[in-house]
Structure 1
Amino acid sequence: MTIAADKDVVLVRQVVRSVAVTVALSLVDQTKLVTAASELARNTLVYGGGGGAEIGVVDSGRRKGVRIVFADDGPGIADLDLALSDGYTSGGGLGLGLGGARRLVDEFEIDTAPGRGTRVTITKWSRST
């Protein structure tokens, strides 16, 4: 999915919720995933200058989950430790920051460097086996 305008952030949230329902995430886990995805989609738009999101179902053999990859070709994150620290936000998002988004999901991976953009991969697993 392309993230180039505010309406795209809304669409990402809608698709993430729909996919979360199909893998039987609880309502609480759906909300956590949608909240994290919304923050990361907004970051992709505002700080990365736009980019994309790939949303898919993953299967570990025991349970299913939702994996989302957000990618942009923006300026990258100069101080990743600061950006991931509790309470850090540069404004404009939900106020969660990357650290808050990381706490809402089961798996969080980020690849960034100044001048080469940012790629964030998150996964939320169903609790049932």
Structure 2
Amino acid sequence: MHAPSASTTRLPIGSDADLAWVRQQVRQTAAGLGFNLVQQTKLVTAASELARNALVHGGGGHMEMTVLTEGAHHGLRLSFVDAGPGIRDVELAMTDGYTTGNGLGMGLSGAKRLVKEFTLDTRPGQGTTVTVTDWVSGLPAPRTGAP
């Protein structure tokens, strides 16, 4: 299998206006790739939570939005990067229902449930990167030869 091709856009996360811009860009890109309305809403909700976390807890940062193409399949990878203090207790932060009260109340575990793939990389004093990936559903599997 070939590696997916990709194109990446970087958006700043430094203010509430940036959060709105991130949500808008994620929705427009997901819609353009063929994500249905439910998938779009899940991605935008996860992006909103993760961008707010980067702003509030990480002191700001950026989102890298990567359009993935693997044959006829399209996906979207969103990486939220900050250089803040990092997450001291990852296990606690990933606990269902854990929230600091500043976000949507869904926390990291809620964002994880909304997407197909979720990775978290954090180091005390060096920041956090959370990456989520989802693929357009409803497409037939790629063909692997003659019928």
**TM-score, normalised relative to structure 1:** 0.97
The structure with the greater share of residues assigned to helix is 1
The structure with the greater share of residues assigned to strand is 2
Which residue does the alignment assign to 1:50? 60
TM-fit CA distance, 1:69: 0.7
Conserved in 2, the CA contact under 8 Å of 1:19 and 1:56? Answer: no
In structure 2, distance between residues paired with 1:14 and 1:115:
31
> Which residue of 38, 41, 53 corresponds with 2:48?
38
In structure 2, distance between residues paired with 1:94 and 1:40:
10
Q: Which range moves more in the overlay, 117-126 or 62-71?
A: 62-71
Unaligned runs of 5+ in 1: none
The reply on whether 1:22 has 2:32 as its aligned counterpart is: yes
**TM-score, normalised relative to structure 2:** 0.85
The reply on whether 1:68 has 2:78 as its aligned counterpart is: yes
Conserved in 2, the CA contact under 8 Å of 1:67 and 1:122? Answer: yes
Unaligned runs of 5+ in 2: 1-10, 141-147
Give SS of 1:88's match. coil
The reply on whether 1:124 has 2:137 as its aligned counterpart is: no
Identity %: 56
TM-fit CA distance, 1:37: 0.2
Q: What are the superposed Cα offsets for residues 74-107 of structure 1, whole Å, 9 maximum, x if unpaired?
A: 0000000110111111110000100000000011
Runs of 4+ in structure 1 deviating by more than 4 angstroms, as ranges, are: none
Question: Is the radius of gyration larger for structure 1 or structure 2?
Answer: 2
